[in-house]
Chain A
Amino acid sequence: MVAHPFLLRLSAGSRGRCRTMNRDDGVYTLDHAWDCIVGEGTAGSRGSPVSSDDSDEESEEMSEGELEALKEQVEEKKKLIATIRNKPWRMQKRLSVLKEAQDFVERFEGALGKGKGRRLYAFKVMMTKKLIKFNRDFENFKTACIPWEMKIKEVESHFGSSVASYFIFLRWMYGLNLILFGFMFGLVVMPEVLMGLPYGSIPRKTVPRSDQATEMDLSVLLDFGGYCQYSVLFYGYYNSDRTIGVLKFRLPLSYLLTSVGIFGYSLLVVIRMMARNADVGGDGGDDADFTFSWKMFTSWDYLIGNPETADNKYASITTSFKESIVDEQENQKDENIHLRRFCRVSANVLILCSLGGSGYLIYYVVKRSQDFAKMDPSSLSWFEKNEVEFVMSLLGLVCPPLFESIAELEDYHPRIALKWQLGRIFALFLGNLYTFLFALFDEVNGKLEEELSIKNSSEWALSQYYANYSAFYNTTVVPPPNVSPADVIRGPCWETAVGQEFVKLTVSDVEVTFLTILIGDFVRAFIVRFLNYCWCWDLEAGFPSYGEFDISGNVLGLVFNQGMIWMGAFYAPGLIGINVLRLLTSMYFQCWAVMACNVPHERVFKASKSNNFYMGLLLLVLFLSILPVIYTIMTMPPSFDCGPFSGQQKMYDVVMETINQDLPAFMGTIFSYASNPGLIMPAVLLMVLAIYYLNTVSKAYQQANADLKKKMKTARDDEKNRRNNKDSTNQMMKDLEELLPNKSLLPPPFEEDTPSGTHTKQTKTKPGPTGKGVNVEKEVSLAAPNPRRPVTQAPVQRAGPPMNARGAHAEPGRGRGRGGPPRR
């Protein structure tokens, strides 16, 4: 979320990004390289006839020292060629220097290859060049493959870089989800589809007889029941055979490991992104030091290519300057602090109440939906069936503006208010999600009991069948019951139910987002545009006007959507695929919507200086979504008749089984040792110690950094003092100065340059525009104030360092440390 001073891009076509490799020298053709080898001869000249080769070699044999020096020179030239684009020269100069350096390298590189191993050397050189060319081509190809680059650039030029950064985040999410989908699809879904039993062969893969009448109804399908429920989308479809197919693919193990691996991979990627952003982020605490300078030099976004955006940018820059000016003056303003505190406390209380209220509402609604589930589906209205999702989306829509209006009470600086707002929305989403989860797991417990009873009853039925059969036919070999899979009694399969809930939630979230955009942005823009002709006030300028793109709301929505996907992927492997589709359509839809219906922001206040704020949120959400899944794997017993873990006591038992049966014996003993608490405790302790150590080391580095900065600052201030007021930094000299009669120890001070105003760093109180004294300057510098001495002698023209603006004064000795004491 950064603006772009000093950055321009061409507005059509792809963007190249291949500048990471070291380019030693240009790419020479193959002939060229061979020329260097073949066309040897005297050092420095090429193309001499081959016949005179030997004699030339002997006579022109270079000494080792010369060879080394030459080699060094060639290396230097090569380095120059590699860094020539970093030099601030004119292109013409660069081109000529480049040509010269390349000629030099060309000439002597061949010569260097003389004597021992020259063929090998030349070959090495040629291979390096080929490698460089290959790298460059590969980078070109890679950048050409980045999707949606043009779209995002277009958005950027209209709306600035903060809006575009949302789309870049969206694209990154899309990439992440695509990879997760690849994992899930390739390792879990495909094997089951290709090598597992087909639909209808076993009970868990067949729609029960009672539901078969409605199995393909659209309403049932949209609810993810019927045929959808008994498909690869959900957990319940997968069979628990240890190995399937010819390849003996271990599906249950793969299911478990993939689910855990998804979290591991996401964690890796998010942390890598954070680390990459971290070194771009804060550079130490010098935040407030250069406010006005930064505003002046870095506020213009050079990527803006649209007059409307430019207008908005001008307006926002002007506003920002005015605000900073007022801020400076406002430090003295001292309002009624008690009133402010009271307002803030009451605002927080209100918000806490609304958060609590929303949590309770969700809990209540989920409980009600459990009751509804027990009733006959046909007697329920659509609203009652989808109540949970509806309520959650509604809360997500209504509460943020509510928080914003309550926050008006607090009267914070906009940046701080934005942070509070984001924090509250985050808390809202989190609370909602977790309440939903708790209610869901409550339901699961109910289902578990139901399952136990069904299991008991089906076992009893089976034993009855065997008893009857053997009694009737008087045999001991009893064929399995000839029951069609659709008629078998089956348990409630709670994992599939949980998966269904997640999928429904995701889908409804998508629907709500799209509807909001359509109505909130498109219809609004439509109305404002066309109703404006016949309305009393100017709709475009006043209420409601066109919408602005809500970056933080959208990013938070994206983050939470991803959290739900992470949670739900274990129970519904197809969920990731649904999410991929959703992100794809979202990209196109939102790009269109933003270009067609939104206007650029008037006021730009970033929530944080680096992208890490949103990445940090993502990381937090990732951790929070791991918890339910880990809890399920470790403690909840799997359903006895559906899913890949049916028949096990706990889900992770597949891993134990694999270790015991498939891996060699010693591995089993290793694992059993490794899971020994006696080993794990020291390992945990070691990690804690390592973290503590790294923390201490980093603190030490920070301290060293701060010390260096301070040292630099004092060195600079000393310079300043040395040039400004020689007679006031050294306290002892000052005392001595008082004692001596004619104060002749120190050279007389510089003449004061009164016309351009004083530059001492005393606290300045200038008469501000409003007439009251404005405390513009921060206190202090290390320099003591200049003692104003009476002017006792006529000003002597001295050619000292021009510290004051005295017109064009091209002094060679200016600059820090080079301006010596002035000549008399």
Chain B
Amino acid sequence: MGNKQTIFTAQQLDAYQDCTYFTRKEILRLFYRYRDLAPQLVPLDYTNHPDVKLPYELIGSMPELKDNPFRQRIAEVFSEDGQGNMTLNDFLDMFSVLSEMAPRDLKAYYAFKIYDFNDDDFICKSDLEKTLNKLTRNELTEDEVRMVCEKVIDEADLDNDGRLSLEDFQHMIVRAPDFLRYRNSDT
């Protein structure tokens, strides 16, 4: 493991390894992916913490995200300015939380933020409607949408305020079978 790279200092790499779920190699790979989005904007030397932000359009065009209906929300949640323009820190953060090593609770927290379109710390009916329309690309009728949203609130709203708080959401999501961490089959 020679320190042949000159992008980060050793301390920076170690700090990133402590703050994310990634190994050294993965962090470097992520950096190169970040850089590939805009080679002229991103310098090859991060030792003096340059302040570089990539606009949302570039992030949203990544192959991992471009087919995701929630990519805009994901970028907004993880970006510092809330508009979807991401620095390298935000970028690493996003992939770290969405990686398979991240624990359930952390994912649930960020999932809540992603689905909260109006950023009011509650998933209200309008948030649900937006989520559903994004999921089905507006294929359901208005009545069906309304019915599904009401059903969701009935199912998950425990404190009965007509919208889902973080607690309600977490309580519901940690029981979901699909939400459990992906297990790899080993001998």
Q: A27 vs B10: C-alpha distance in the bound complex, in angstroms?
A: 10
Q: A724 vs B157: C-alpha distance in the bound complex, in angstroms?
A: 14
Q: Are B106 and A86 in contact (CB under 8 A)?
A: yes
B:2-36 near A, CB below 8 Å: 14-15, 17-26, 29-30, 33
Q: Mark B144-160, 1 if CB is under 8 A from A, else 0.
A: 10011011101110111
A:170-214 near B, CB below 8 Å: 171-172, 175-176, 179
Q: Mark B74-116, 1 if CB is under 8 A from A, else 0.
A: 0000001000000001101111101111110111011100010
Q: A364 vs B55: C-alpha distance in the bound complex, in angstroms?
A: 72
Given A88-B106, A291-B155, A305-B67, A322-B144 contact (CB < 8 Å):
yes
Given A88-B109, A803-B161, A321-B148 contact (CB < 8 Å):
yes
Q: Are A81 and B18 in contact (CB under 8 A)?
A: yes
Check if A302 is an interface residue, CB within 8 A of chain B: yes
Q: Are A296 and B178 in contact (CB under 8 A)?
A: no
Given A91-B93, A300-B135, A804-B162, A98-B18 contact (CB < 8 Å):
yes
Q: Are A10 and B180 in contact (CB under 8 A)?
A: no
Instruction: Tell me, rounded to whole Å, the shortest Cβ–Cβ distance linking A25 to chain B.
Output: 8
Given A16-B22, A136-B23, A6-B185 contact (CB < 8 Å):
no
Check if B173 is an interface residue, CB within 8 A of chain A: yes
Check if B187 is an interface residue, CB within 8 A of chain A: yes
Chain B residues near A292 (CB-CB < 8 A)? 148, 151-152, 155
Check if B61 is an interface residue, CB within 8 A of chain A: no
Chain B residues near A91 (CB-CB < 8 A)? 19, 89-90, 92-93
Selected from A23, A84, A283, A777, the residue in CB contact (under 8 A) with B154 is A777
Check if B132 is an interface residue, CB within 8 A of chain A: yes
Give the number of residues in A that approach B within 8 Å (Cβ atoms): 104
Instruction: Tell me, rounded to whole Å, the shortest Cβ–Cβ distance linking B16 to chain A.
Output: 8
Selected from A10, A310, A802, A816, the residue in CB contact (under 8 A) with B67 is A310
Q: Are A5 and B179 in contact (CB under 8 A)?
A: yes
Selected from B15, B110, B128, the residue in CB contact (under 8 A) with A95 is B15
Check if A585 is an interface residue, CB within 8 A of chain B: no
Given A10-B29, A325-B148, A317-B136 contact (CB < 8 Å):
yes
Given A10-B29, A26-B15, A298-B179, A305-B64 contact (CB < 8 Å):
yes
Q: A310 vs B70: C-alpha distance in the bound complex, in angstroms?
A: 12
B:49-66 near A, CB below 8 Å: 63-66
Q: Are B23 and A140 in contact (CB under 8 A)?
A: yes
Smallest CB gap from A769: residue in B: B143
Q: Are A26 and B18 in contact (CB under 8 A)?
A: yes
Q: Are A85 and B18 in contact (CB under 8 A)?
A: yes
B:155-182 near A, CB below 8 Å: 155-156, 158-163, 165, 167, 169, 172-173, 175-182
Instruction: Tell me, rounded to whole Å, the shortest Cβ–Cβ distance linking A321 to chain B.
Output: 6
Q: Mark A299-314, 1 if CB is under 8 A from B, else 0.
A: 1101011110110001
Q: Are A296 and B161 in contact (CB under 8 A)?
A: no
Instruction: Tell me, rounded to whole Å, the shortest Cβ–Cβ distance linking B32 to chain A.
Output: 9
Q: A310 vs B134: C-alpha distance in the bound complex, in angstroms?
A: 12
Selected from A8, A768, A777, A805, the residue in CB contact (under 8 A) with B161 is A805
Smallest CB gap from A6: residue in B: B107
Smallest CB gap from A177: residue in B: B187
A:270-296 near B, CB below 8 Å: 273, 276-277, 280-284, 286, 289-294, 296
Q: A317 vs B133: C-alpha distance in the bound complex, in angstroms?
A: 11
Q: Are A7 and B19 in contact (CB under 8 A)?
A: no
Chain B residues near A289 (CB-CB < 8 A)? 155, 175
Q: Are B177 and A169 in contact (CB under 8 A)?
A: no
Given A86-B106, A816-B167, A95-B184 contact (CB < 8 Å):
no
Q: A84 vs B14: C-alpha distance in the bound complex, in angstroms?
A: 13
Chain B residues near A325 (CB-CB < 8 A)? 144, 147-148
Instruction: Tell me, rounded to whole Å, the shortest Cβ–Cβ distance linking A601 to chain B.
Output: 16
Chain B residues near A88 (CB-CB < 8 A)? 106, 109-110
Give the number of residues in B that approach A within 8 Å (Cβ atoms): 90
Q: Are B67 and A309 in contact (CB under 8 A)?
A: yes
Q: Are A16 and B25 in contact (CB under 8 A)?
A: yes
Selected from B30, B63, B124, B181, the residue in CB contact (under 8 A) with A305 is B63
Q: A175 vs B64: C-alpha distance in the bound complex, in angstroms?
A: 30
Chain B residues near A11 (CB-CB < 8 A)? 63-64
B:127-143 near A, CB below 8 Å: 128, 131-132, 135-137, 139-141, 143
Given A92-B80, A719-B159, A2-B23 contact (CB < 8 Å):
no
Q: A99 vs B19: C-alpha distance in the bound complex, in angstroms?
A: 11
Selected from B103, B105, B184, the residue in CB contact (under 8 A) with A168 is B184
Q: Are A321 and B144 in contact (CB under 8 A)?
A: yes
Selected from A273, A290, A305, the residue in CB contact (under 8 A) with B156 is A290
Q: A304 vs B80: C-alpha distance in the bound complex, in angstroms?
A: 26
Smallest CB gap from B113: residue in A: A88
Q: Are A290 and B140 in contact (CB under 8 A)?
A: no
Q: A302 vs B62: C-alpha distance in the bound complex, in angstroms?
A: 13
Q: A464 vs B99: C-alpha distance in the bound complex, in angstroms?
A: 80
Given A11-B64, A282-B177, A318-B140, A756-B155 contact (CB < 8 Å):
no
Check if A610 is an interface residue, CB within 8 A of chain B: yes
Instruction: Tell me, rounded to whole Å, the shortest Cβ–Cβ distance linking B114 to chain A.
Output: 8
Check if A9 is an interface residue, CB within 8 A of chain B: yes
Smallest CB gap from A325: residue in B: B144
Q: Are A314 and B100 in contact (CB under 8 A)?
A: no
Smallest CB gap from A269: residue in B: B187
Instruction: Tell me, rounded to whole Å, the shortest Cβ–Cβ distance linking A297 to chain B.
Output: 6
Q: A284 vs B175: C-alpha distance in the bound complex, in angstroms?
A: 9
Check if A776 is an interface residue, CB within 8 A of chain B: yes
Interface centre among B29, B80, B124, B147 (most CB of A within 10 A): B147
Selected from A90, A280, A761, the residue in CB contact (under 8 A) with B93 is A90
Smallest CB gap from B151: residue in A: A292
Smallest CB gap from A299: residue in B: B135
Chain B residues near A276 (CB-CB < 8 A)? 183
Q: Are A5 and B18 in contact (CB under 8 A)?
A: no
Chain A residues near B151 (CB-CB < 8 A)? 292, 328, 776
Chain B residues near A805 (CB-CB < 8 A)? 124, 161-163
Instruction: Tell me, rounded to whole Å, the shortest Cβ–Cβ distance linking B157 to chain A.
Output: 8
Q: A104 vs B26: C-alpha distance in the bound complex, in angstroms?
A: 28
Q: Are A26 and B120 in contact (CB under 8 A)?
A: no
Q: Are B175 and A283 in contact (CB under 8 A)?
A: yes
Q: Are B178 and A5 in contact (CB under 8 A)?
A: yes
Given A305-B64, A314-B137, A768-B147, A171-B185 contact (CB < 8 Å):
yes
Check if B69 is an interface residue, CB within 8 A of chain A: yes
Check if A256 is an interface residue, CB within 8 A of chain B: no
Q: Are B93 and A3 in contact (CB under 8 A)?
A: no
Q: A283 vs B179: C-alpha distance in the bound complex, in angstroms?
A: 12
Chain A residues near B155 (CB-CB < 8 A)? 289-293
Q: Are B185 and A7 in contact (CB under 8 A)?
A: no
Smallest CB gap from B161: residue in A: A803
Given A136-B23, A175-B187, A298-B178, A321-B140 contact (CB < 8 Å):
yes
11 CB-based A-B contacts, threshold 8 Å? A5-B176, A16-B101, A17-B101, A17-B184, A98-B15, A293-B172, A298-B178, A310-B68, A776-B147, A803-B160, A804-B162
Going nearest first, the 8 A-B pairs with the smallest beta carbon separation are A91-B89, A8-B98, A310-B67, A769-B143, A175-B187, A172-B185, A16-B23, A19-B101
Question: Chain B residues in contact with chain A, CB under 8 A?
Answer: 1, 14-15, 17-26, 29-30, 33, 63-70, 80, 89-90, 92-96, 98-103, 105-107, 109-111, 115, 120, 124, 128, 131-132, 135-137, 139-141, 143-144, 147-148, 150-152, 154-156, 158-163, 165, 167, 169, 172-173, 175-187
Question: Chain A residues in contact with chain B, CB under 8 A?
Answer: 2-11, 13-19, 23, 26-27, 81, 84-86, 88, 90-92, 94-95, 98-99, 136-137, 139-140, 161, 168-169, 171-172, 175-176, 179, 269, 273, 276-277, 280-284, 286, 289-294, 296-300, 302, 304-307, 309-310, 314, 317-318, 321-322, 325, 328, 609-611, 716, 719-720, 723-724, 756-757, 759, 761, 766, 768-769, 774, 776-777, 802-805, 808, 815-816
User: Other CB < 8 Å A-B pairs besides A300-B69, A317-B136, A325-B144, 10 of them?
Assistant: A10-B30, A16-B26, A88-B106, A171-B185, A283-B177, A286-B175, A292-B148, A296-B148, A296-B152, A306-B67
